[in-house]
Structure 1
Amino acid sequence: MRRTLTNAQKVEIVAELTTNHFGDLRRLERMIRRASDAGADFIKVQRRSVEDFYTDTQLAAPYESPFGTTFRDYRSALELHEDGFALLDRVCDEEGIPWFASALDSQSVQYFAQRGHSLVKLPSTVSHHSDLIEAAARSGLDVVLSTGMVSEEYVDLLLRKFEAAGRIYLLQCISAYPAPVDACNIAVVRSYSERSRVDPRIIPGYSSHDDGSFVSTLAVAAGARMLEKHVKLGSTSWAHFDEVALDLETGAFHDYVRDVRYAELATGSGRKEVEAAEHHKYPWRVREVAQ
């Protein structure tokens, strides 16, 4: 008899597109549909004001890409605008998969709140941007907090800031690309899971920057209920996060989802009980134990 997962055991898998759509709406649509077909539960993108987020020096720095020779050329080309978010609305509705976004500045938090979104992410990149954190806390939106480059004490501070949030997805994260296995510290996911028993608004999870699915399956066993994995459409050497992203064209993300679903089944509920599979060889003994 195949085990049926409860909602409490279900792991929500986020296909993290970042800006790997390169501002190309046809590419964006292909990525959404392939990620959905692979079994993702959420699509995620990013939004920021390029001119405000980066310094003039950073934007003027040399950067070779198909869009020009400076970092400004590159970053400006990657940003989605209202037509891109409208496409996300339409295609995700057709696929039956929700989407949300990382907001990297206060303007973006306000933008998604005004659009009627219920969930926003604050990535590790902005975990110390106090103005953004305050804006997100005031917005009333549920929040995904990625906790790369922060201490446990700072996690406590973030949770206090978001006392009004209905849901707080608290993701262990190592901000290295790729993250070495010996740095992933998946036991932190277990500590976040323990926090969730005290505060049911907390949903523990893991934002994966390591290779493949192995560490993510360990995170499931440690109590993760959200996993975030970078995806791409083919390899592009000049793109951010290319090395850690799973290719939607090769089936690598499909394999990742499969491995996570197996990990869900193998982890189970945590309640010790007689399993149907144990009835195979000595059914009389199992009946005696069950009684």
Structure 2
Amino acid sequence: MIKDISIGRHVIGFKQPTYFIVDVAANHDGSLSRAKDLIHLAAESGADAAKFQNFQAGTIVSDYGFKSLAGQLSHQKKWPKSVFEVYEDASLPIEWTEELKNTCDVAGIDYFTAPYDLGLVPYLSKFSCAWKLGSGDITWLENIETLAKDGKPLLIATGAATSEDVRRAMDAARKHTDKIVLMQCNTNYTASLENFKYIALRVLTAYEREYPDVLLGLSDHTPGHSTVLGAVALGARVIEKHFTDDRGREGPDHAFSMGPKDWREMVDRTRELEAALGDEKKKVMKNEGETVVLQRRALRAKQPIAEGETLTRDKLISLRPCPEQGLPPYRIDELIGKSALREIPEGDCISLSDVG
């Protein structure tokens, strides 16, 4: 059974509202004031949390390694600088942490981070209410265990991973914590509409089967919110997407990020979906009670029936409406062969008290 977990000021659970995380990532563009503005804008747009990424270029990428590839891959080939230089520019000064946390508190949303440097974890732990493991670190078990041991909720993204990779990571995490959110993800950052073919939302159903006690989520980089609605319908309770105020800005993450208007639309449509999903019990709902009378058929006299007359099938007809005392058509055999205890006009509803 899935149990609720707490992240900051929010409770995350199967019966709780979907938890929306803004990934600021590199969209602060090296400016603390801009990062703070994005926090407030995210809160106004309906986000529940602002997530940052803490790294130093030298502890996440090898300058030599990327240069030796003799050509950058995927979206990185469009970057005007080397991969190492871009990560240097995008790195979040550790000195900003306390102010970012305080800004989130003022805005009324949670603050947490994805640490890509084990040396930063002890300091960040004083401020972060949860941890995010980026998809690229799913094979870095030392990091997974370090974060899991800290005792805070751990969100594990699974982009570009196999089932074996996920099991290995989950085994490492579950040795130390049960506060896990397992997130389906596709790590193509090109913002291409072709990417919808590769999101594989049904992986969430496989995760649900294999990890029935674990909360699920989606870390997404596609435009719009169709994948989000699909994921929520399949059981995801946590959604993470990149966020910016201007997709046209220069930087590695702006192009595939969501803006404030789109974010608000996504949250609003998700809240409608949550209301629409309801529970698994099929029942007559409060707002459709009158249609039980107006649209259902009741057994009625097809012709005038005299008192004492025997009821036969050809003397009965099923017609709307069906009042509370009426008999539905499937109960016709309870009337056949009975005698009318009163005179029944044509079209009148027949109840068990009318026959004997």
Give me the TM-score of the superposition, normalised by structure 2.
0.69
Please tell me whether the aligned partners of residues 58 and 71 of structure 1 are also in contact (alpha carbons under 8 angstroms): no
Aligned-residue offset at 1:10: 1.6
C-alpha distance in 2 between matches for 1:210 and 1:253: 13
Look up the match of 1:181: 196
Q: Give yes or no for the alignment of 1:76 onto 2:88.
A: yes
Please identify, of 7-16 and 161-170, the stretch whose mean Cα deviation from structure 2 is larger.
7-16
Across the aligned residues of Structure 1 and Structure 2, the Cα RMSD in angstroms comes to: 2.9
Query: Please, which of 282, 289, 294 is the counterpart of residue 279 of structure 1?
Result: 289
Tell me which of 73, 97, 100 is aligned to 2:112. 100
Report the identity percentage.
24
CA 1:52–1:118 in 2, change beyond 3 Å: closer, same or farther? same
The residue aligned with 2:318 is none
Conservation of the 8 A alpha-carbon contact between 1:9 and 1:264: no
Change (3 A) 1:236 1:75: farther
1:261 equivalent among 261, 271, 278:
271
Instruction: Name the residue aligned to 1:222.
Output: 234
Task: Return 38-47 or 116-125, whichever deviates more.
Answer: 116-125
Given that 1:17 and 1:231 are in contact with CA atoms closer than 8 Å, whether structure 2 keeps it comes out as yes
Which residue number corresponds to residue 327 of structure 2? none
> 1:44 touches 1:101 (CA, 8 Å); kept in 2?
yes
For residue 281 of structure 1, give the secondary structure of its aligned residue in structure 2.
helix
- Rounded to whole Å, the distance in 1 between the matches of 2:323 and 2:15 is 29
- Of 162, 176, 184, 1:151 maps to 162
Structure 1 residue 79, shift from structure 2 partner = 2.1
Q: How many positions carry a matched residue from both structures?
A: 276
Structure 2 gaps, min length 5: 1-12, 297-321, 325-356
Q: What are the superposed Cα offsets for residues 3-42 of structure 1, whole Å, 9 maximum, x if unpaired?
A: xxx9624210111111101121111111111110111111
Residue 122 of structure 2, aligned match among 110, 129, 137: 110
State the Cα distance separating 1:183 from its structure 2 match. 1.2
User: In the superposition, relative to structure 1, how do residues 224 and 235 fare at CA in structure 2: closer, same or farther (>3 Å)?
Assistant: same
Measure the CA separation in 1 of the matches of 2:323 and 2:145: 58
Paired amino acid for 1:124: S
Could you say if the C-alpha distance between residues 193 and 64 of structure 1 is closer, same or farther in structure 2, counting changes exceeding 3 Å?
A: closer
- Kindly indicate whether residue 44 of structure 2 is the aligned counterpart of residue 37 of structure 1: yes
Larger displacement relative to structure 2 (165-174 or 230-239): 230-239
* TM-aligned CA distance change 1:267 to 1:206, over 3 Å: same
Match of 1:169 in 2: 181
SS at match of 2:106: helix
Checking the alignment, whether the CA contact within 8 Å between 1:9 and 1:269 is kept in structure 2 is no
Relative distance call for 1:280 and 1:210 in structure 2 (3 A) is: farther
The one-letter code matched in structure 1 to 2:196 is V
Partner of 1:119: 130
Match of 2:112, SS state, is strand
| Structure ranking higher on relative contact order (CA contacts 8 Å, 6+ apart) | 1
Q: CA deviation at 1:280?
A: 4.2
Alpha-carbon distance in structure 1 between the residues aligned to 2:210 and 2:134: 20
Contact 1:220 1:267 in 2 (8 A): no
Normalised TM-score (structure 1): 0.84
Please say if residues 231 and 247 of structure 1, whose CA atoms lie closer than 8 Å, have aligned partners that are also in contact.
yes
| C-alpha distance in structure 2 between counterparts of 1:49 and 1:287, whole Å | 73
Matched residue SS, 1:88: helix
Displacement of 1:52 in angstroms is: 2.0
Q: Residue in 2 aligned with 1:3?
A: none
Q: Does 1:190 align with 2:201?
A: no
* Secondary structure of 1:172's aligned partner: strand
Contact 2:101 2:127 in 1 (8 A): no
Shift in Å, 1:282? 3.2
Helix, strand or coil: the match of 2:291?
A: coil
* Residue deviations 1:75-99 (CA, integer Å, cap 9, x gap): 2232222442122121111121111
Give, in whole Å, the separation in 2 of the partners of 1:42 and 1:205.
Answer: 14
Distance in 1 (CA, whole Å) between partners of 2:63 and 2:52 is 24
Equivalent of 2:30 in 23, 36, 39: 23
Distance in 1 separating the partners of 2:280 and 2:323:
21
Q: Which residue of 2 aligns with 1:213?
A: 225
The CA deviation at 1:131 is 3.1
2: CA distance between counterparts of 1:287 and 1:99?
57
- How far 1:74 sits from its partner (Å)? 3.3
Moved more, 263-272 or 156-165: 263-272
Instruction: Name the larger-Rg structure.
Output: 2
Q: Is the 8 A contact 1:122 1:144 kept in 2?
A: yes
- 5+ unaligned residues in a row in structure 1: which ranges? 1-5
2:289 is the alignment partner of 1:245: no
